[in-house]
Amino acid sequence: MNPLFHVFTSREAAKKWGLSPNTVTQWCNRGKFQEDEARKSEKVWLVTRAGMIRLTRRDEGTKKEEK
C-alpha cells in the first residue's frame, strides 16, 4: 500500500478512530506521539496510522474496548 495512505490529518484520524478532533490535536500539542509519528505542516497536524494505533491500542474502525 502507498505510504501516503498511512498518514492522516488530525481531523481525518479522529474521524477514522471515532475520537474528537480536539483529542488528536491535544495529543500532538502535548507530545504524545513519537518523533516519527506526527509533525505539523503549516497549521495542520499530520499523524501516522502507526502512531494512532499505538496511542489508541486499536486499528482504525474498530470499537473501543469496554472496561
The ranges assigned to domains in the chain are 3-56
pLDDT in tens, 11-55: 999 999 999 999 999 999 999 999 999 999 999 999 999 999 999
Mention the CATH class of domain 3-56: mainly alpha
Asked if residue 33 lies in contact with residue 47, where contact means CB atoms within 8 angstroms, the answer is yes
pLDDT at residue 67 tops 60: no
Q: What is the band of 1 on the pLDDT scale with cuts at 50, 70, 90?
A: confident
- Give SS3 for 7: strand
Exposure string (b/e) for 33-50, b if CB count within 10 Å is 16 or more? beeebbeeeeeebbbbbe
